[in-house]
């Protein structure tokens, strides 16, 4: 496979076809090749589905380098294997590997928990509307922030950086003209100012690297899952970090990632971030 490539899971379903169309656009946007992956019990069954997928891509992007592969086994294992070193792996929220009903989204959830490269999950309710914004959920994550800036530049759109205060329940905010007097109030104000500075510090260097990307940073007092979910109504894609503890692989991602993968109003990009300590997103 070429150095720059986008991997997409296909299986002939409507949701997988939408993911294929999105992956085709992502590969074109990056100047990368497209690698289609189909996981089946028997490789002989994969021919018609892969041939149809290749034909669909070549009809729309005849100049795009395309590769199609069949893997025996589970969709998650096949996509993780093919996605090593990929610029991006793209999947839909259902349909891969025949997973439906009560296991809705389990492929994308397991990929989000274990992927080592960026993962784009295409949600079916956000196919044609363009808002001109990339949304970043920030928790001091340099890798996710860098991805979001690059994504905004690729799309020639603005970047919205959203940070949810972890100490939002300590005390109500003081009015602007009221001075903090007690030690508790002083500490609350210090924490509030410190947290409000987090998104600015996280993106400061990237602003210089991407001078043409317009950036709006905002700190909110609600929980991160709720705040990000509401903000996805006005975004083309949301970028979040999935924290990894060395040697600790969980079957599911954290609560923020799960919430967005199940309910986001726009596609979700999960960027894996290795950390020593701290909660997983």
Domain boundaries, the chain: 5-122, 133-265
In this predicted structure, the answer to whether residue 218 has a pLDDT above a threshold of 70 is: yes
> Which tokens sit at 77?
């294992």
pLDDT at 203: 83
Q: Which residues contact 255 (CB under 8 A, 6 or more apart)?
A: 225
- Determine the 3-state secondary structure of 202 from DSSP: helix
Average pLDDT value for residue range 190-210: 68
pLDDT at 142: 84
Q: Where residue 139 falls among pLDDT bands split at 50, 70, 90?
A: low
Q: If one looks up domain 133-265 in CATH, what number appears?
A: 3.40.50.620
pLDDT at 104: 42
Q: Where residue 174 falls among pLDDT bands split at 50, 70, 90?
A: very low
Domains 5-122 and 133-265 fall in the same CATH topology: yes
Task: Report the CATH fold assignment for 5-122.
Answer: Rossmann fold (3.40.50)
Sign of the C-alpha dihedral computed for residues 158, 275, 190 and 186 taken in this order: positive
Least confident of 31-45, 65-79, 170-184: 170-184
Alpha-carbon dihedral 82, 83, 88, 93, rounded to 10 degrees: 80
d(CA 71, CA 208): 43
**pLDDT 10s digits, 69-102:** 999 999 999 999 999 999 999 998 864 444 333 3
Percent pLDDT > 90 in the chain is 50
pLDDT at 86: 96
**Predicted structure pTM score:** 0.82
**Mean pLDDT, the chain, whole residue set:** 81
């Amino acid at each position: 496979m070429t150095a720059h490539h986008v991997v997409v899971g296909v299986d002939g379903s409507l949701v997988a076809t939408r993911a294929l169309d999105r992956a085709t656009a992502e590969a074109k946007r990056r100047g990368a090749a497209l690698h289609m992956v189909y996981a089946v019990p028997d490789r002989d069954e994969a021919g018609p589905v892969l041939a149809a997928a290749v034909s669909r891509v070549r009809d729309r992007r005849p100049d795009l380098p395309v590769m199609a592969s069949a893997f025996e086994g589970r969709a998650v294992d096949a996509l993780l294997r093919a996605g090593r070193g990929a610029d991006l792996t793209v999947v839909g929220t259902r349909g891969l590997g025949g997973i439906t009903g009560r296991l809705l989204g389990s492929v994308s959830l397991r990929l989000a928990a274990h992927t080592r490269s960026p993962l784009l999950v295409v949600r079916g309710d956000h196919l044609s509307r363009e808002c001109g914004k990339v949304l970043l959920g920030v928790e001091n994550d340099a890798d996710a922030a860098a991805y979001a800036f690059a994504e905004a530049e690729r799309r020639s759109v603005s970047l919205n950086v959203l940070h949810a205060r972890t100490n939002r329940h300590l005390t109500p905010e003081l009015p602007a003209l009221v001075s903090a007097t007690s030690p508790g109030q002083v500490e609350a104000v210090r924490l509030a100012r410190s947290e409000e500075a987090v998104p600015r510090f996280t993106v400061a260097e990237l602003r210089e690297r991407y001078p043409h990307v317009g950036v709006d940073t905002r700190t909110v007092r609600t929980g991160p899952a709720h705040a990000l979910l509401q903000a996805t109504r006005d975004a083309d894609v949301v970028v979040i970090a999935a924290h990894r503890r060395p040697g600790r692989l969980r079957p599911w991602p954290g609560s923020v990632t799960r919430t967005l993968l199940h309910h986001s109003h726009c596609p979700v990009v999960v960027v894996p971030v290795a950390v020593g300590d701290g909660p997983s997103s």
